Structure 1
Amino acid sequence: MRTLCALLLSWLSATSCVAAEWFPLQVEVDGRGASYQPLTGASKPWRICALLPHGMDRYWWGVAWGLDEEAQRQGVQLGVYEAGGYQYPDMQRAQLTRCGQLAADAYVIAAISAKGLCDEIALLHRDKVPVVDLINRIDCPGITARSQVDFADMAKAAMAYIIEHSKGRTVRVGWLPGPKDAGWVADAERGMAEMDTSSKVAVLNGGYGPVDRSTQAVLVRQLLAREPELDYILGNAEAAAFAGQLVRARGSRYKAQVVSLYATERVLEAIADGTVLASPTDAPVIQARVAVDLAIRALEGKPSPQRVSPRIEVIDKGNLKRFDISHLMPPSGHWMIRQELPE
């Protein structure tokens, strides 16, 4: 399997996929620009349970790596669990229960469903167990802090790129956001609805589904079969990467150009080879690192913001070589981390 480091060898230095110290970092803290500085280390080896929706793509590989790196740096114990896909909310619930059996001190949760764990989170809140909302958005009472970029802003950044790229033309945009019940998808759709696109942009919904390649490939093909004259496709990373390959294939009858809603290593490869135009990035590795720090702050009673959001950056072929890849993905040779919280 190609890695981005290998693909962009002529652009990037040999150390570009090796993480340097990630802080201090300019972020949004409770809605205001600030320089984020994590703790130097935890006062004791707290036990933190991290729940992720899946580990099928490199976005979540980066999240798991960021969680593990920050846990090691601060000297805490970490369990990393992934449910296998957005279609398995019961698995995520079972994994939360398992962490309770292992006496986790705090939870970092990238939820499958915005409201799917509300009962469990209410019990954790009752017992004063910190819960940090990571990336996906949890819409439940009892959340301690959030490490999260608003996907409404991600969608707006992606659509703004399309509007600028179209140079004022009237365009038709196919929309493939991802799983319907996920909080980040609802936020992205809110962002699309809030965009002032006047009469120049028609958005055509291509449907919802888990963000595995097979599901998204079906949705892309169905969308193009219904709407072969699309000017752009804007979709989740798997939809965008597949659509880029399909519409740019030799002999393709489609004219659509492709923008991804968020970046993964595969999307960056597609930007490099010209099959995807651009993608905003929410710096998932940084969000993961911050989430661990927020959990430790809560456990130790340290001052802590309610919400920390890395700044959104839109990546295209023109600025790809300047992008700090360690904010998005682990170094070459690192794969998905799955590990039980030590007993």
Structure 2
Amino acid sequence: MHVLKGLLLCLWLTSLAATADWYPVQVQADGQLLQYQPLARAAQPWRICALLPHGKDRYWWGVAWGLDGEAARQGVRLGIYEAGGYENPQVQIAQLQACRAEDADAYVIASINTDDLCPQIAELHGQGKPVIDLVNRLDCPGVSARSQIDFADMVREILAYIEGSREAGPFSIGWLPGPQGAGWVMDGENGLRQALQGQPVTLYHGGYAPVDRASQAQLVRRLLNEHGEVDYLLGNAEAAGFAAQLVRTSGNQYRTQVLATYTTERILEQIRDGFILAAPTDSPVLQARIAIDLAVRVLEGKPHPALVRPLIVMLDQRGLEAFDISRLMPPEGHWMIRRDMPQ
């Protein structure tokens, strides 16, 4: 743990300037590479409601931190709600209803699934209320703009990494995507199918479950008990983190190499120690900051792209030292931010 804290401190010291002044940052905006520059400040203290699926890990702590920081910089008022897990879509529906009752000016939503919130979003659109789709993907008419990475691209990056490092010949992959019905999971599975077409690969699907450690550990154990010879295990951060620990402590029982579909603090530690081969990051803190700026731009009728994507970065042992960790998670000592809608 002390070594991890030393690593994180070192990474944070090399990225202090970026943390204080996160822009301009290279992104894809409506398919074009550009340097994203947010507004200097909102024209008035708009009230924005942000909905997140949960606050159980530093991925979503980073999202909340990014939302909070950019709201403070632009001078807008922000409520942040988390639903407690992907198994709680009704909680997120109720939280959106509560924000509507508080008459928020705009909504930033990282959805539990792609369509449960669509009826309310259609009503918000009819009222002229901006809705920004953050991270997870909404399949709803009426979304004003999106700040998110395509998880199909994330998975394609991982499989390109595997292809560049594996020996020639047939190989196998164990797949643990995450919660069924989440937009990012469906996108990741689409990317997996596309990337594996024509490949000499055997795919073992480990099943769906919420991204908590207990649920994912059960799936990992079952997958490796049934297919202990699998060459690569590719899974969400909780599945990959547990699988790396299990492989490390099992002697020579398993020969699988582990990769994660996205990066968290635990994944960074295990990449550094050589227990996880690699993982991409979708820069969730940047996605959150951009989402707040998009909300303000829509509220103020200013030009804005419909879709902004930070660039995907593949992280392995060689790439860790140069990576700006402020794109990924909050600094040490920052926890999940939860806040009711300010008046």
TM-score by length of 1: 0.96
1:134 maps to which residue?
A: 134
Amino acid at match of 1:36: Y
Q: Give the match for residue 27 of structure 2.
A: 27
- Quote the RMSD (CA, aligned, Å): 1.5
Which whole-Å CA distance do the structure 1 matches of 2:331 and 2:8 have between them? 14
Deviation at 1:201, TM superposition (A): 2.0
The unaligned stretches of length 5 or more in structure 1 are none
Point out the more displaced range, 158-167 or 48-57. Answer: 158-167
Q: Contact 1:17–1:330 at 8 Å: present in 2 too? A: no
The equivalent of 1:305 in structure 2 is 305
Q: Is the 8 A contact 2:12 2:325 kept in 1?
A: no
Question: 1:280-319 residue pairs with structure 2 within 5 A?
Answer: 280-319=280-319
1:169 and 2:130 are equivalent in the alignment: no
Corresponding letter in the other structure for 1:219: L
Structure 2 contact 12–326 (Cα < 8 Å) conserved: no
Q: Which residue of 1 aligns with 2:334?
A: 334
- 2:234 matched to which residue of 1? 234
Shift of 1:12: 3.6
Matched, 1:36 2:24: no
Structure 2 matches for 1:96-135, cutoff 5 A? 96-135=96-135
**3-state secondary structure, aligned to 2:81:** strand
CA contact (8 A) 2:11 2:323 kept: no
> Residue type of the partner of 1:263?
T
Aligned to 2:267: 267
Indicate how the Cα distance of structure 1 residues 7 and 296 shifts in structure 2: closer, same or farther if over 3 A, else same: same
Deviates more, 1:75-84 or 1:252-261: 252-261
Please state how far the C-alpha of 1:15 moved relative to its aligned partner. Answer: 5.3
Distance 2:300 2:259 in 1: 42
Query: Matched residues, percent identical?
Result: 58
- Partner amino acid for 1:22? W
CA distance in 1, matches of 2:3, 2:49: 29
Task: Give how far 1:65 is off.
Answer: 0.2
Q: Match of 1:56, SS?
A: coil
Name the structure 1 match of 2:324.
Answer: 324
Structure 1 residue 198: Cα displacement: 2.4
Q: What is the CA–CA distance in structure 2 between the aligned matches of 1:72 and 1:3, rounded to whole Å?
A: 33
Greater Cα shift, 179-188 or 242-251: 242-251
Aligned twin of 2:224: 224
TM-aligned CA deviation for residue 159 of structure 1: 1.2
Equivalents in 2 of 1:284, 1:159: separation in Å?
Answer: 21
CA contact (8 A) 1:3 1:332 kept: no
Q: How does 1:9-20 map to 2 (within 5 A)?
A: 12=11, 14=13, 16=15, 19-20=19-20
2-structure distance, mates of 1:255, 1:197: 25
> What is the distance in 1 between the residues matched to 2:78 and 2:12?
32
Letter in 1 for 2:61: W
Moved more, 199-208 or 258-267: 199-208
Contact 2:12 2:331 in 1 (8 A): no
Residue in 2 that maps onto 1:155: 155
Partner of 1:92: 92
Q: Measure, in 1, the Cα distance between the counterparts of 2:87 and 2:340.
A: 22
SS at match of 1:120: helix
Q: Which residue of 1 aligns with 2:246?
A: 246
CA distance in 2, matches of 1:163, 1:220: 23
CA separation of 1:238 and 1:102: change in aligned 2, threshold 3 A: same
| Cα distance in 2 for residues equivalent to 1:226 and 1:120 | 44
Moved over 3 A (4+): 1-5, 11-18
Which amino acid in 2 is paired with 1:307? L
- 1:172-183 maps to which residues of 2 (within 5 A)? 172-183=172-183
The Cα of 1:196 is off from its aligned counterpart by 4.4
CA distance in 2, matches of 1:192, 1:221: 22
Match of 1:255 in 2: 255
Q: What is the CA deviation profile of residues 85-105 of structure 1, one whole-angstrom value per residue up to 9, with x for unaligned ones?
A: 000000001110111111100
Aligned partners of 1:336 and 1:97: how far apart in 2? 22
Q: Are the aligned partners of 1:134 and 1:291 in contact in 2 as well (CA < 8 Å)?
A: yes
